[in-house]
Structures are given as C-alpha cells and as structure tokens.
Chain A
Amino acid sequence: QMQLVESGGGLVKPGGSLRLSCATSGFTFSDYYMNWIRQAPGKGLEWVSYISHRGNTIFYADSVKGRFTISRDNAKGSLYLQMNSLRVEDTAVYYCARQKMYCRSGSCDSVWFDPWGQGTLVTVSS
C-alpha cells in the first residue's frame, strides 16, 4: 500500500523558515518524479515545485522561486521542501504527490498526481 506522510508544518513568523518532509513507502521512490502542491485555507490547489527522479531537474512556481528549495533522498525514500523568507500568503496545507506520466518515444503528453499525502499545515503569521 502506497503511503506519503508529510511533516514539518507549523506556525512561523513572516520572514522565517521551515523545512517540510515527505516520507514515502509502498513504491520505488527513486523511479518517480515528485511534487509539492499547496492549498490555502478555503482555496483551490496550487502547484509549488517538481523534482525529477534523480533530482537533476527541478522547477518552481513563480510565487516561490528563489525562496523555496525542493530536494530528495532516494536512499531514504523522502522528499523535502526548504521554505525561506516565508510570507503570509504562503499559509496553506502543503501536500506531496507522486507524479505519473504517459510517455512514448521519449515524449510525454500527460501528467497527473497519484497518490497524495495527507498534508501538513504551514501558518505564516506575526
């Protein structure tokens, strides 16, 4: 049974830092691209960051670029998100999610997220 368990959320002041972790089990972590996706209270889903299976390709949403750093430890089956210079608008539940893709002849035409973790709440407030 696949499991993704996030941790590390909490209350932090604007300008502060937090490091989120996502511990996985039930699948070969090193085979999959992974993502962080967030959801502000009462709002919709917002993609935050992506990391390839070997960690050599990384992308960020413009809203977090330069402040957040995604990383992974394939030996531990874990995904991380280092969040610096936090802002009030970063307040959200942060989910880690495994990326699935359909690719043929080296070209991919679709991406989806399955499964998702239960999420960890990050609150940025003074």
Chain B
Amino acid sequence: SYELTQPPSLSVSPGQTTSITCSGDKLGEKYASWYQQKPGQSPVMVIFRDTKRPSGVPERFSGSNSGNTATLTISGTQAMDEADYYCQTWDNNTFYVFGGGTKVTVL
C-alpha cells in the first residue's frame, strides 16, 4: 500500500518561514493536497493540485511537489497558523492516502 510520511512536529517563531514535508514514492508524479486542522475543528483544505490556493486562504501558504516530496510552506508564520497539517494524494490504484500529520507550534 502507498504511504505518505510527514514529520510529527515542527516549531517556528512568529514571522519566520516553515516548510512541512510529505514524502512518498514518486509523489511528484501525483498531485498533493494539504489540510489545516486546528484543535477541536474539522480539516480545512489550504492547497490543492500541489500549488493551488483556494480563495480565502492567505497568500503566505504555498505548495510545491517534485521527486518524492511535496512541501507546504508558510511564509511569515502567524500564531493563528498553529495547527495540525495533513498531506493527501490520490490515484486510481492507491485511492485516497493521507500523511500522518505534522503538528506546527508557533513559539
């Protein structure tokens, strides 16, 4: 079965840039999406098709995907960005796969 691997946790200072990685075999040949989940809330999609940002998501969120790694970058991280972040991919064989999630702490 296909697996996506994320670091369990990251810490970042306010105003700094943080990058959350998501690794999977030839992930760059698929598309990745990213979800933000704040405590007690349901997930919210912040990036789809590797780099697309839906309306309403701040411009400081960006995505990339190449080789075996997709990356969600938060530029100028704010306290409100403290949350769990999940990557997700899909194809006809593996169907829907989520990464294990990364807890981002803004210190």
A: residues with CB less than 8 A from B are 35, 37, 44-47, 50, 59, 95, 100, 102, 109-119
Q: Give the nearest-CB partner of A47 in chain B.
A: B96
B: residues with CB less than 8 A from A are 30-31, 33, 35, 41-45, 48-49, 54, 86, 88, 90, 95-101
Q: Give the nearest-CB partner of A109 in chain B.
A: B31
Assembled-state Cα–Cα distance A102/B30 (Å): 12
Contact across chains for B31 and A110 when beta carbons are under 8 A apart: yes
Contact across chains for A47 and B31 when beta carbons are under 8 A apart: no
Could you list 22 examples of A-B contacts with CB < 8 Å? A44-B86, A44-B100, A45-B98, A45-B101, A50-B96, A100-B48, A109-B30, A110-B31, A110-B48, A111-B90, A111-B96, A112-B33, A112-B45, A112-B48, A113-B35, A113-B43, A114-B48, A114-B54, A115-B45, A116-B43, A118-B41, A119-B42
Contact across chains for B42 and A59 when beta carbons are under 8 A apart: no
Contact across chains for B95 and A59 when beta carbons are under 8 A apart: yes
Contacts between the two chains (Cβ within 8 Å), count: 59
DSSP majority for the A interface? strand
Assembled-state Cα–Cα distance A79/B49 (Å): 26
Q: Given A100-B48, A111-B90, verify A116-B96 contact (CB < 8 Å).
A: no
Q: Given A112-B33, A113-B88, A114-B54, verify A44-B99 contact (CB < 8 Å).
A: yes
- Chain B positions within 8 Å of A112 at CB level: 33, 45, 48-49, 88, 90
Q: Given A95-B42, A112-B33, verify A47-B48 contact (CB < 8 Å).
A: no
Q: Give the nearest-CB partner of B31 in chain A.
A: A110
A95-B42, A109-B31, A116-B44 given; 4 more Cβ-contact pairs under 8 Å: A46-B98, A102-B31, A110-B31, A113-B35
Q: Give the nearest-CB partner of B54 in chain A.
A: A114
Contact across chains for B42 and A35 when beta carbons are under 8 A apart: no
**Closest Cβ of chain B: how far from A33's Cβ, in Å?**
11
Assembled-state Cα–Cα distance A37/B97 (Å): 11
